[in-house]
Structure 1
Amino acid sequence: MAQQLNLYYDDIHQLALDLYAPRGAAKAGIIMIHGGGWFRGDKRKEADWAKRLNDRDFFVIAPNYRENTAGHWPAPLVDMDRLWTWIQKRDLPFNKRAIAAVGGSAGGNMAVEMAIKYGIPAVSLSGILDIADWLSQHNDVVAVQGDTENFATAASRTINQDGVNNSFYKWFITQYLPHPSDYVAATPAYHVTDTTGPMYLANSLNEFVPTSGVARLSQALGDAGIPHATRMLAGTAHGEGYLDQVFESTTLFLNRSLHLL
């Protein structure tokens, strides 16, 4: 099985996933969650990263999840719970005690949430991590939808690479969270526990996702005694825009966290 595309893991919501298998035996499984601000994006854009991990003998599961008005918080996280159940019930060619989650942007947030809930390792590239505190400090920012032209066909590594854009950041967070009463519950740092999985958190210093998210979550992880690594990169690149720079270190983190070395 080199790859299997568009397998349904949730028939009710018509949610599908893609499976990418290495040529030889798989040493672990990776849940790879696409980004897109919870209002756009698709699993097919993760093919490049998935195949690079296949070359390192990882089996990759790339799901879609609910977006737009159907994907208000916590719907995408509920979808990941359904995905988790699907994985546990299926005969997949890897040891299910060796599984991690990775993602960029909104997918980075969801990978972190899976680490908190299931105790698995997570890699977050430009994860949307600072929500409640950031919004409380930016009341004067006017939310404005960003340029979405060609997003459906553009590669993930080319999207949102132009630097700080607080109006857009506020827009898609408040689209995902239409009820302010949910802001704290949707902020990962507030519900880290001592059973949270290890994390690798990366961010560019001058991109549109604020570095404060990494700082706040790192503090919470440290307070809880959770192993984690942080990486800050020069420039404005977002998420998979800097994957080439962090691929080796994230892969080493996965190997070590999954006890594969």
Structure 2
Amino acid sequence: MYSSSIKNFIVVFVTFVTGVSTSAQQKAEVRPYNITTTVKKYEKKYPFIKGIKPLVSDRFIAEEDIPYKETQTSVLKLDVYYPSEKNDKNCPGVLLIHGGGWISGSKENQRIMAQHLAENGFVAVTASYRLSQEAVYPAGVIDLKDVLRWMRKNAETYKLDPNKIAVLGTSAGAQLATLVGVTPDSELYHEKNEAISSAVQAIVNVDGIVSFVHPEAAAEGEIAGLWLDGGRDENPKNWKEASPLEYVSSNTPPTLFINSSMPRFHAGRDDMIKILEKNNIYSEVHTLDGSPHSFWLLEPWFEPTVDFTVSFLNKIFKN
């Protein structure tokens, strides 16, 4: 846990992702992180930006705020968007994980992306999970693995192919998505006796680090420590254990990286790609030049993000 000196004196300003500041308390002040706050944050530097808008289409059906898990502190919910067209063939699925520094954000930030994926023939699920102010690592990881089991358990209801599921995350959600993707049915997360698998067949990492301990991850500090139950020097076990790069192997699924122009959010990516290439595992990297972090909530960058994602998933699942 944090030392008394950190509890009493730390002031952290998180400017890239959440707009969160922590003061001399154990609990951080959590400011809203959503489309509106992201536009407000970047509109002076990028006066041409627009917040993304919900998709209105008769090509998908929405079922929102479905409880999937009850913990000691909350009832966790998810949204499902799935194609409306009647088809005998089951569709690939995607679990979407929101970002926000492991402390902020909500599943609603991923709803619009989920709508676009559903319109393109995928069963898209965006889920809440326990953030650092509610429960420290590995609670959120376990929650997201339980979402994957929920998807497989309810596959017939939504015409989902349980053997074709991808995980997509943005920012902190991308770190989580990658970690979930590289630790299927893991002893580490007490999954070995689970009857339903948490394995995924593809990973989409949208501007998220893949290591907390890589030299490129030096910028990760107290906000990450709030989630990892202590700072880098106080709890090195969790910092390493929560780093997806530690588990990348010949069994890692095909992976897509979509990145901003900010190198801070690429930590460990290139080393992960080297391991994938060594094992002949398909990967793609797309960098949106001139884009800020949280570009996926903004036009003109949302549309290419959707296009890159759909193209990649079609290569893996449909073609």
Which bracket does the TM-score occupy, shorter chain normalised? 0.7 to 0.9
The answer to whether 1:96 aligns with 2:157 is: no
Question: Which residue of 1 is the match for residue 137 of structure 2?
Answer: 73
The answer to whether 1:230 aligns with 2:281 is: no
Question: Which residue of 1 is the match for residue 124 of structure 2?
Answer: 60
Q: Deviations over 1:35-92 (max 9, x none)?
A: 1111011111212111111221111111100002333221111111211222222233
> How many angstroms does 1:236 deviate by?
4.0
The answer to whether 1:176 aligns with 2:227 is: yes
Question: Which residue of 2 is the match for residue 6 of structure 1?
Answer: 65
Paired with 1:206 and 1:5, the residues of 2 have a C-alpha distance of 33
Aligned CA distance change for structure 1 residues 49 and 37 (closer, same or farther; 3 Å): same
Alignment partner for residue 208 of structure 2, among 117, 121, 127? 127
The CA RMSD over aligned residues, in Å, is 2.1
> How many angstroms does 1:235 deviate by?
1.9
The answer to whether 1:206 aligns with 2:262 is: yes
Paired with 1:95 and 1:9, the residues of 2 have a C-alpha distance of 19
> How many angstroms does 1:201 deviate by?
1.0
Paired with 1:2 and 1:210, the residues of 2 have a C-alpha distance of 34
Count of residues paired in the alignment = 229
Partner of 2:268: helix, strand, or coil? helix
Please tell me the residue identity of whatever aligns with 2:76.
Answer: L
Paired with 1:257 and 1:71, the residues of 2 have a C-alpha distance of 34
CA contact (8 A) 1:101 1:122 kept: yes
Question: Which residue of 2 is the match for residue 220 of structure 1?
Answer: 275
Comparing 216-225 and 52-61, the one that deviates more = 216-225
CA contact (8 A) 1:39 1:71 kept: no
Paired with 1:215 and 1:54, the residues of 2 have a C-alpha distance of 31
Question: Which residue of 2 is the match for residue 86 of structure 1?
Answer: 150
Question: Which residue of 1 is the match for residue 33 of structure 2?
Answer: none
Paired with 1:225 and 1:70, the residues of 2 have a C-alpha distance of 40
> How many angstroms does 1:119 deviate by?
4.3
Please tell me the residue identity of whatever aligns with 1:249.
Answer: F
Paired with 2:302 and 2:245, the residues of 1 have a C-alpha distance of 24
CA contact (8 A) 2:166 2:200 kept: no
Please tell me the residue identity of whatever aligns with 1:196.
Answer: T
Question: Which residue of 1 is the match for residue 303 of structure 2?
Answer: 244
Aligned CA distance change for structure 1 residues 119 and 46 (closer, same or farther; 3 Å): closer
Question: Which residue of 2 is the match for residue 143 of structure 1?
Answer: none
Please tell me the residue identity of whatever aligns with 2:79.
Answer: D
Identity of aligned residues (%): 24
- Structure number with greater CO (CA < 8 Å, separation at least 6) is 1
Unpaired segments of 5 or more residues in structure 2? 1-59, 185-198
> How many angstroms does 1:121 deviate by?
0.2
> How many angstroms does 1:219 deviate by?
2.1
Paired with 1:245 and 1:170, the residues of 2 have a C-alpha distance of 31
Paired with 1:221 and 1:71, the residues of 2 have a C-alpha distance of 32
Alignment partner for residue 16 of structure 1, among 60, 77, 97? 77
> How many angstroms does 1:23 deviate by?
2.4
> How many angstroms does 1:112 deviate by?
1.3
> How many angstroms does 1:99 deviate by?
1.3
Aligned CA distance change for structure 1 residues 17 and 226 (closer, same or farther; 3 Å): same
Question: Which residue of 2 is the match for residue 41 of structure 1?
Answer: 105
Paired with 1:14 and 1:121, the residues of 2 have a C-alpha distance of 28
